[in-house]
Structure 1
Amino acid sequence: MEELYTLEREVGRGSYGVVFEGHMAKTGQRVAIKRLPCSNPECIELYLQELWAMRATAKNHVNVIALHSCLLQTGPRSLKPLKAGKLPPRLVESVLKGSVVKKTQNPEGNNTQPRTNTVSRLQDRTNTVQARPTLQDKTKSDSTTPQRPHNRSRKRPFESEEEEEQPGPLSCLALWLVMEYCDGGDLNQYLLSRPPDPQRNHSVVKQLCSAVAFLHSLGITHRDLKPDNVLVCVMPRGPIVKVADFGLSKMGGGVVDGELTRQHFSSTCGSDFYMAPEVWGGLTYTAQADIFSLGVMFWAVLERITFLEEGATQEQLGAYVCKGRTGWLIPLGEALWENNDLQLCIPMKFKRAPPLPPPPGPAMCTLLSDMLASDPDARPPAEQLEARVRSALEEDSH
């Protein structure tokens, strides 16, 4: 690895991999390097989906994270670059067979690949769905930030109920994705560490519109849009946001003969506060579920709406429905699935922690309501969203 890249420090850790800050050995350019251990076929399938989606974007949009290269680790200190358009055959075979393909033994019975015990189960910090608390479970807090209790969990797709497979002589130990580095952290960290700025918020919203329109035009449905998966590059003229983390994305559809075709999905996946009602209900859904997720993010960004997961110390941007005497929080998608006639209060009316930006104007509130519609077909498609956002912001400015 040191011949190509230098690892400096760990900057992020999730349920499937670890991200390091690094530098290209020849040029010194700073990069983000993500290690994805190939420990089971369920994880490998997600990795290949992420790799394929990132290759499809081909560094062609400023608001989508750029992939520089992908390396395949076949031994403790053995790495080789993957050619563009190619997938490792043994990893594809692992996904198809449902088990990790190992090296075959030579006639003497010795494995051609040394054993390794470096693969570990990583802590899952995303995609949790919490139960409504009982009075006995309610945690006392002096914080003015609403808190969401953490009592039940939704598994990400493809997770196995079986015991973790013991590490063995794997032919592919890990994939390493080398990506552009974003020095501003994720959208939560960037926006919530600064005073509210309406112009900055408007810029973020417009950039995200452009990114999702680009992805949908390629037939890529992200399926896990949330502030954690939006990274920020700090520039003199303002932030540039980058949609990242394509592990749950799906490719299909796209523009055919000038018409946008829609692929239907059935896997329930995503993160609870940003999932669309149809996903919550276990129905088939389309890329319009991404529009709902964007609507939740836009509402939270424009009004600086935050909440805390129980046991967490960092606020998260996210809109919700607050119900009951104890004030427990319900994700919008869940609330709309239970009652599709529910009228959302946009902008929010109850007291929140200052400092707060001015609330969105009437035109933007109408657009947010459309994006958060229970009916997916009532939501504006991505290719129209950017123009509608610009029009709404301009109208409200007058």
Structure 2
Amino acid sequence: MEELYTLEREVGRGSYGVVFEGHMAKTGERVAIKRLPCSSPECIELYLQELWAMRATAKNHPNVIALHGCLLQTGPKTLQPLRPGRLPLDLVESALKGSVVGIKQSQEEKRTKSDSSRSKTKNRTNSGGLFRTKSRLRTNSESDFFRSKSQESTNSDLSMSKTPVRKISGLSRPRKRPAPTGEKDNRGPRRCLALWLVMEYCDGGDLNHYLLSRPPESQRNHSVVQQLSSAMAFLHRLRIVHRDLKPDNVLVCLTPNGPLIKVADFGLSKMSVEGGQGMEGDTSLTRQHFSSTCGSDFYMAPEVWGGLTYTAQADIFSLGVMFWAVLERLTFLEEGSTQEQLGAYVCKARWLMPLGEALCENPDLQLCIPMKSRRSPSLPPPPGQAVCTLLLDMLASDPDARPTAAQLEDRVRSAMEEDAQ
């Protein structure tokens, strides 16, 4: 990768990384550059999952965020391009072993600085064999990492703060003392400081910011719902389960033809290696079970709330919460926050309870869609009967009663056509 990227400003900061707005120096194309610090094996595993999922989606669907490239940072000013189809072996080893590769080696190097030059030479000679062994281990670990993907294993507030303009080179600086010709570099694994993901830039912000900063409009809401259902059908055909669908993780590109919706943030995603493509693969995905409790409270399915094993149908429930909120413009405030967020809920006395939690406590709970009996004139008309029926099916307490992603895309289209007549 020969491009230079210019970082201009920070646009987002979450639990795991920071997102900058930047440009490709050669083409001037605006990009989003996400820095993920490799500080712990738990974080590294999430980064590898995100990278793997984004590579699988590539640039094949307009409603899924596109990955342009990935850089591996191994020093303060050293970045190396990661070749397509390859995972950084040091990071794979860190995730599998539960410790960050390179830390022990760095500590040992500091201690050897006080040794004599003859001892240093001896230590370097002896360490070469150890590093060659570790290199073989990393190769085996990479294969184990791919095989383990069929098993279960173990966001952002916008900020406009200015950051100094910096240029990132896609190539690392050449070593001052290159290895002799015909000899391998046996210095061993260096610590990976961070992964940099270069993605397409979305100028409309996240779905919360985009919709709540504009007057309600039925046509726009319908377009958002249809695009999200298309993105989910695509992801589930690839056997990718997102597991953290919410408006914060949906980005918007502004185009002359209206908003272009992009599903993003695949840090908690999982990919099943079982099943096939199309309807058969979609059915197989509903049989792949997961056990890690993850997601955001107001969008989590009842089976996730209950700590039970769950399938890709948990994504359908999360999408149902978002659809209901978008179509009726339902918002809530999280405790300690003044920022409205799109999301459906159940009113319990003076408190708002997430739908998944309410259905976990009472699977027979009857949801009232549309929610509002008295509506402000500024709001769009409530969803029609066909769409309301679809929402109730998506929010069923029984995962098997929910439509699959492939069925959902067709049902969204037909329900909206039926209600428009």
**What is the TM-score normalised by the length of structure 2?**
0.78
| Aligned residue number for residue 184 of structure 2 | none
**2:12/2:156 contact within 8 Å kept:** no
Cα 1:110–1:320 change in 2 (3 A) is: farther
Compare 246-255 and 32-41 and name the one that shifted more: 246-255
What runs of 5+ residues in structure 2 fail to find an aligned partner? 115-123, 125-154, 158-188
Cα 1:171–1:107 change in 2 (3 A) is: closer
**1:70/1:176 contact within 8 Å kept:** yes
2:331 corresponds to 1:306: yes
Deviation at 1:330, TM superposition (A): 0.3
Greater radius of gyration (CA): 2
Letter in 1 for 2:87: L
Residue number among 109, 112, 122 corresponding to 2:112 in the alignment: 109
Residue number among 347, 350, 367 corresponding to 2:370 in the alignment: 347
| Aligned residue number for residue 321 of structure 2 | 296
Q: How does 1:1-398 map to 2 (within 5 A)?
A: 4-102=4-102, 104=105, 105-106=108-109, 109-110=112-113, 171-253=191-273, 255-256=275-276, 259-260=280-281, 261-262=284-285, 263-324=288-349, 327-349=350-372, 355-398=378-421
Give CA deviations for 1:301-358 in whole Å, capped at 9, x if unaligned.
000000111222221000000011xx20000000000000000000003557773111
3-state SS of paired residue (2:9) = strand
Compare 83-92 and 364-373 and name the one that shifted more: 83-92
**1:216/1:254 contact within 8 Å kept:** no
| Aligned residue number for residue 166 of structure 2 | none
Deviation at 1:25, TM superposition (A): 1.0
3-state SS of paired residue (2:255) = coil
3-state SS of paired residue (1:11) = strand
Cα 1:350–1:171 change in 2 (3 A) is: same
| Aligned residue number for residue 147 of structure 1 | none
Deviation at 1:37, TM superposition (A): 0.2
- Partners of 2:265 and 2:241 in 1: CA distance: 12
Deviation at 1:256, TM superposition (A): 1.9
| Aligned residue number for residue 141 of structure 1 | none
- Partners of 1:102 and 1:356 in 2: CA distance: 56
RMSD (Å), alpha carbons: 2.1
What runs of 5+ residues in structure 1 fail to find an aligned partner? 113-123, 127-168
3-state SS of paired residue (1:242) = strand
| Aligned residue number for residue 185 of structure 2 | none
Give CA deviations for 1:254-287 in whole Å, capped at 9, x if unaligned.
6427612122100000000000000000111000
Cα 1:231–1:365 change in 2 (3 A) is: same
**What is the TM-score normalised by the length of structure 1?**
0.83
Letter in 2 for 1:248: L
Cα 1:229–1:353 change in 2 (3 A) is: farther
3-state SS of paired residue (1:268) = coil
- Partners of 1:170 and 1:329 in 2: CA distance: 49
**1:217/1:254 contact within 8 Å kept:** no
Deviation at 1:3, TM superposition (A): 6.2
- Partners of 1:40 and 1:357 in 2: CA distance: 47
**1:186/1:231 contact within 8 Å kept:** yes
**Could you list the runs of 4 or more consecutive aligned residues of structure 1 that deviate by over 6 angstroms after TM superposition?**
none
3-state SS of paired residue (1:79) = strand
**1:14/1:125 contact within 8 Å kept:** yes
**1:220/1:254 contact within 8 Å kept:** no
Letter in 2 for 1:321: V
- Partners of 1:314 and 1:100 in 2: CA distance: 37
Deviation at 1:109, TM superposition (A): 1.3
Report the number of matched residues.
343
Letter in 1 for 2:39: S
Give CA deviations for 1:128-181 in whole Å, capped at 9, x if unaligned.
xxxxxxxxxxxxxxxxxxxxxxxxxxxxxxxxxxxxxxxxx9710000000000
Give CA deviations for 1:178-209 in whole Å, capped at 9, x if unaligned.
00000000000000100111000000000000
**1:264/1:284 contact within 8 Å kept:** yes
3-state SS of paired residue (2:251) = strand
**2:20/2:34 contact within 8 Å kept:** yes
**1:277/1:334 contact within 8 Å kept:** yes
Give CA deviations for 1:275-300 in whole Å, capped at 9, x if unaligned.
00000001110000000000000000
